[in-house]
Structure 1
């Protein structure tokens, strides 16, 4: 019978007070292929003159912009977005310590550099990094790009807001009540009001409204039996309406055509956010981020204050052209960008549009819907449509339709000669009388071209590639790296954050 022997556990010794002859170099502690080395190499190669010009000179010495840019880019690459946490990293993280040469800028310096020095010029730095990718043969700014958008919440308060509709309702109420007071004054003081007209306050200019209230008050001041309610209303109107109208005018200027803005970030617009996989959500102050990608690298980004995608394409392309002095060969995007305006814009710029229109997918499965306006044959030479029963529909004129962006569409109208007794009348149209069809011929032609292009071999390839090229970039930024809300406020500062996110994403992918 053997004897069981217990073996002692042996631990490796360590001594926190051990003194080394020479202190270790930080460079020796960082692996040769570590991403921080790529960050350092890339930022050392770019031209920082655009940032340098933001410094006035004189006074105390400043941290080098290259150093601070390295801190920010490496921080955004590692999901460290707060200036306080970045300051902490420069004191405790050997990678940040190596990048800064043991310098420790405080969070005020980091935040001022990010919000002020990089504002308006970071895109130049971004484009330089993209050009380095081009030089490596990783991307090509001349080829097709994949475009999409996402909404990112602003740092603004979610519950302090101004709505365009509320302003209009308030102004309409003031006009209605002022009109009622004016009519009352004309009724009880016709002689005093005979040379006055209510058209004086039609525009609701604060000074004219103030003058109108004064006129009403003077007209009825010496009249007997004026109801107390009228006097109270006039007193309230004189005290509040002019200053309220001045405030509404200022708010409308800030809205600049938008439907809303946040009081704590006036550049942010309230947008419906997709909060979960069921697309449930709520209205929050946010910005619409548009990007164009290739091989999941971001080649262009732009920030917008509108929630819809189709109105962002024109300025997004202008931004691309400003960065690289040329446009891409093609743009591939989903149906959110499909519009007559966008198709025409791309055609004028010589860019092939691989952009679906809103009924493209349904038409692929079911064909063009029977009896729809799109199904009606158009005789271009004689300009008439042919109804489903073969009857000619005569051209009766054009009308204009203006989009929210101000784009004017020409809608041609056609009317059938006699629908009475037609066996198809019930399913062809539901209106009384002869059917009237409205057609946007420009959009119709664009859709036909786009349909053929999307169903070509190249188009099918692009359609398959789009969801796996641009959409994962948003997933990486928002889900994998936790950036779902901006830290700064104001369009120019938020654009800096987007630039840092884009640079960090590209370098992260490059190092991978």
Structure 2
């Protein structure tokens, strides 16, 4: 038989001679101490300026900043959960000096006081990392993007194409009503407005419907369906057009937005739990990292990565008054505009173009545009059979970002009976190709740069530097959806998340 079982003494009502000090319950080197130490070093004057004098006293901005940063570091994102932690969690109690802000105070501070200024604190913390020699602002950075879902309702679509279609429909029906009124009442009964409507607006539609009603008022044989349509038009069209105008202002250059978060754009998400490629309201988060520390972040309303790079780099320069030596990114950023901008700023672009990986495996196809030899001095191309392709003109293409590209067109002199015609091209006449010489030059330079020893090192390092950061934020720490709505508030959330990530990694 075994010996007698002995239990440790347990008496929850037992008194202690002295109360515990919270200081003794927080181990040295604990992340909460790192947060407290770092936030004590940042300048909080930008937040102080947002407070108005008078009234009841407020919690100190430094206290509130510590609460939110440590909350995001411990995956506590909800203001109600943060309120609960401040009352129950020893580490939060030590950090706050036993102060207990409620969830409304926490949410107001996050939404209002940190809006527009948090990035200044983020940059100060990055500068501390620089001072420690952990990262460098002048070395290469690794840039990538991910989509994060908005807090908006997922099924509140407003589409730019739908607005355009509805306006065209009103314009077409108004034109039909006008022509019907002309036929029935005679042009002398109508005003001098044009008989076709190139565009419609609320005021003009209102006036036109009034004119049609007046012209048909004395007519006895008006089609009942026309009367019904006029009645509907008078009741709805003017208000609908006002609504469409307002929606187009909210859209701006986008093609969609959410009714419950107008700043969010509908995007396809990789994390698709329904596995049906469903569009969801989201924001495009861009980060630049080094040694898996976030050096810059920016939030965008466009789903395409290449459009985000110019403003992202401008943001980096505004934060630190310097630029990185190089930007390393995948093919999603390889555009003529981006290559040009980085070249002008003196930044080395280790950025793939759309077919770089394919070319590495298979080489350049014999009959592709890029395979055609270009004689710059005489401005002609040479086709695979050695025939000159003469320059026949230039044109312009304007990208969605407004960047103007110059496109040159070249045409072969005679493709008739060419033995290679079937694999070279399938058009009816002689082959015509369009070449963007600026892009072609940048692609060639990028290819040479990416295949240097340094370029190969950067290409190997990029997926191991920036992509794990997204895995940390979204998968390990469960931040897949914003809690707040609107660009200014979601930028605050990303700022807190980025600061928390850097401090968590600094500790590690």
Q: TM-score, normalised by structure 1?
A: 0.97
Displacement of 1:213 in angstroms is 1.3
Deviations 1:227-264 (A, max 9, x none): 11111111111111111101000000000111111111
Counterpart of 2:389 in 1: which secondary structure? Answer: strand
- The 1:418/1:72 distance shift into structure 2, 3 A limit, reads same
Deviations 1:329-353 (A, max 9, x none): 1000000000001000100111100
Cross-structure match for 2:479: 483
Cross-structure match for 1:85: 81
Displacement of 1:198 in angstroms is 3.0
- The 1:194/1:96 distance shift into structure 2, 3 A limit, reads closer
- The 1:158/1:277 distance shift into structure 2, 3 A limit, reads closer
The answer to whether 1:325 aligns with 2:321 is: yes
Displacement of 1:74 in angstroms is 0.5
The 4+ residue runs of structure 1 with deviation greater than 4 A are: 276-280
How does 1:14-413 map onto structure 2 within 5 Å?
14-192=10-188, 196-198=192-194, 201-275=197-271, 281-413=277-409
Displacement of 1:195 in angstroms is 5.7
Quick one: distance in 2 between partners of 1:198 and 1:447? 52
Quick one: distance in 1 between partners of 2:275 and 2:478? 19
Count of matched residue pairs: 508
Counterpart of 1:198 in 2: which secondary structure? Answer: coil
Whether contact under 8 Å (1:179, 1:198) holds in the other structure is: no
Displacement of 1:407 in angstroms is 1.2
Quick one: distance in 1 between partners of 2:290 and 2:274? 29
Displacement of 1:276 in angstroms is 5.2
- The 1:456/1:179 distance shift into structure 2, 3 A limit, reads same
- The 1:381/1:362 distance shift into structure 2, 3 A limit, reads same
Q: Which sits farther off after the overlay, 439-448 or 214-223?
A: 214-223
Whether contact under 8 Å (1:148, 1:333) holds in the other structure is: yes
Quick one: distance in 1 between partners of 2:316 and 2:189? 61
Whether contact under 8 Å (2:288, 2:296) holds in the other structure is: yes
Q: 5+ unaligned residues in a row in structure 2: which ranges?
A: none
Q: TM-score, normalised by structure 2?
A: 0.98
Q: 5+ unaligned residues in a row in structure 1: which ranges?
A: none
Displacement of 1:185 in angstroms is 1.6
- The 1:278/1:452 distance shift into structure 2, 3 A limit, reads farther
Whether contact under 8 Å (1:146, 1:331) holds in the other structure is: yes
Whether contact under 8 Å (1:182, 1:198) holds in the other structure is: no
Counterpart of 1:213 in 2: which secondary structure? Answer: helix
How does 1:447-458 map onto structure 2 within 5 Å?
447-458=443-454
Displacement of 1:401 in angstroms is 1.2
Quick one: distance in 1 between partners of 2:390 and 2:212? 57
Whether contact under 8 Å (1:355, 1:450) holds in the other structure is: yes
Displacement of 1:191 in angstroms is 3.2
Deviations 1:314-343 (A, max 9, x none): 110111011000111100000000000100
How does 1:408-419 map onto structure 2 within 5 Å?
408-419=404-415
Whether contact under 8 Å (2:175, 2:196) holds in the other structure is: no
Cross-structure match for 1:466: 462
Whether contact under 8 Å (1:275, 1:281) holds in the other structure is: no
Displacement of 1:169 in angstroms is 0.8
Deviations 1:465-508 (A, max 9, x none): 00010000000000000011100011000000000000000000
